[in-house]
A = this chain, B = another copy of it.
Amino acid sequence: MHSLRFTAESSSDGMVERDFVLGEVPGVLWSPASGADRAPLILVGHDGGKHKKHPAMTGRAQSFVNGCGAHVAVIDAPGHGDRPRTAFDERVKAALAEARAAGEPVGPIVRHHNARVAELALPEFRAALDALQELPEIGTDGPVGYFGIRMGTSIGVPLVAVEPRITAAVFGLHWPDDLAEKAKQVTVPVEFDMQWDDEHIPREAGLALFDAFASQEKTLHANAGRQGELPRFEVDSAVRFFARHLGRAATSQA
């Protein structure tokens, strides 16, 4: 088992940012600058084609650090960010470009890609959680949440299904095809985002994935609009969801 090795540290806006590597996997850990011993940890799975420090990730990290007093960790998924691209990644990229140029649906390609990445990422996320919990400021007794939409949901649903340390999760914007069976094993509180007029994911598909979760407490947030129009206020909602379930009061305004 690898130990987590920090490679860089900076801080801004009340948040400490530490780059790390864990074996071959680069990641980033954001923490409250004020210190946060035994604070909750929120693992974030980034979206396909993005990476650990994409602005969408840093924005969410800021919200979770400020709003939940939490540590937030993101690792680059296989083939993303600072990790090498494989022949598989190149084939997917070419197939996506081809489908878009031809005006054909990209859904089947995205699903195939996400399923493969999720398979590879699952042990990496569990190893990252092991290593992060070895840090004295996190420890093994604090609550752990997971946030990931799109590809982050592909990774997160199988992860949360098998990882008892994760006790609350936010998912969204995905088809049920590869995930519904895993979702049936998820019993922790779930908040699930979908777009009512998603141009890629049929409405029934989004509803079916939400329906599949076995969680006694689960909430669907469906907003009018296309996939790219998921409202920013859903991040604020995720902050409150984690604050409710990970045991820290939200400190930021809605």
Residues of A within 8 A of B (CB): 196, 207, 210-211, 215-224, 231, 233, 236-237, 239-240, 243-244, 249-250, 253-254
Contact = CB atoms under 8 A, between A and B. Distances in A.
Q: Is the interface of A mostly helix, strand, loop or mixed?
A: mixed
Given A217-B224, A221-B221, 5 more contacts: A196-B211, A196-B220, A222-B222, A233-B240, A237-B237
Copies in the complex: 2
Contacts of A231: 217, 219
Nearest to A240: B254
B219 A222 contact: yes
A211 B222 CA distance: 10
Contacts of A215: 224
A229 to B, nearest CB: 10
Nearest to A213: B224
A231 B211 CA distance: 18
Contacts of A211: 196
